[in-house]
Structure 1
């Protein structure tokens, strides 16, 4: 009975922790007027979750979140600009391929799908790497691609979980307010840390 109560308490504390982090993620996103707050707030969320995962004591979440938010504000917005720029041109190319006739449209779709898969692989590792190693963006992109190639099954699992959560939040939008950012970030950060530990020597040489 005591073990059951302890397990339930730990689970409730964990859920409460995710809810608080998600609230901070939304608050600091709004603080940057969404357009300039989304990426710094996301970077701060990864950094705080990483720090919480490696620390066995309670952390001053708001203080830490504000610290990482300010620290990552410029670089993460620059990264966000690159992501949005790429997404815009990807959308334009996709629309262009739709206007082509066979077999050119099929070739175009295959090319864009491969490009999308590579891009998603880079993006899911990019924020965890930046939070863990604090390295330049160019090297972080290179390391993200290396990890994706070395661990295709882990990468695919992370992408599938993201798709599952997207479906869940689309079906029950209210859950997004409580776990929209923190749940997937926690999964990505924890999964990435496991991958990092297996590849320390390879990543240092990258």
Structure 2
């Protein structure tokens, strides 16, 4: 077979996977009316992508997605809403600081809150890939994500830059968002983060 044709087929198969996964993510988010379905669907998306990355055989996407969605439904919602609550708390704190009179304390608290928001954003980049790769407690995922950010700050910033470029691409071509928007973003994050994960012997990794 001509090499260029083989490349086209490979790319086409990959894009078809990304398209299917995006559809599954939307359907399963809708099943939980987004309020309860968003975080399990996102977890299932990352877990299925991880399975596809590490497996030499073809992964049955729907079966894998459904398995992870059901398995992680409760725990992923707990983690997701914990992270969301932290973000809301910091944003509300900024709103409160905004109505306070200017002072050294006000400036210090505002800067500290923005720093915490930035740290939370960096942790959020790693937390789902870590969630689907390791078996930790809820707080353990946050702790290990923070360790990853501190231990690999350049990788975290580079990943944020890639995400920013992807968002700009979505801005230029909005039609990509309903087609492959979420799954492509998840694939890039998982593909970038996966090689950085060590697998300590005491942590049981699901095969």
TM-score by length of 2: 0.90
1:89 deviates by 1.3
Residue number in structure 2 paired with 1:191: 192
Instruction: Determine the C-alpha separation between the residues in 1 that align with 2:78 and 2:66.
Output: 19
Residue number in structure 2 paired with 1:24: 24
Judge conservation of contact 2:46–2:186 (CA < 8 Å) in 1: yes
1:97 deviates by 2.1
Encode CA deviations 1:50-96: one digit per residue, 9 max, x unaligned.
Answer: 00001122121111111100001001111122122112212211112
Encode CA deviations 1:101-139: one digit per residue, 9 max, x unaligned.
Answer: 154443233212210121112211111111111322222
The two structures, once aligned, show a CA RMSD in angstroms of 2.0
1:188 deviates by 1.1
1:177 aligns with 2:178: yes
Structure 1 residues 126-141: aligned runs within 5 Å: 126-141=127-142
Residue number in structure 2 paired with 1:63: 63
Gaps of at least 5 residues in structure 2 are none
1:153 aligns with 2:154: yes
Count of residue correspondences: 202
TM-score by length of 1: 0.90
Instruction: Determine the C-alpha separation between the residues in 2 that align with 1:91 and 1:152.
Output: 24
Structure 1 residues 63-142: aligned runs within 5 Å: 63-100=63-100, 101-142=102-143
Gaps of at least 5 residues in structure 1 are none
Using the TM superposition, name which of 96-105 and 7-16 deviates more. Answer: 96-105
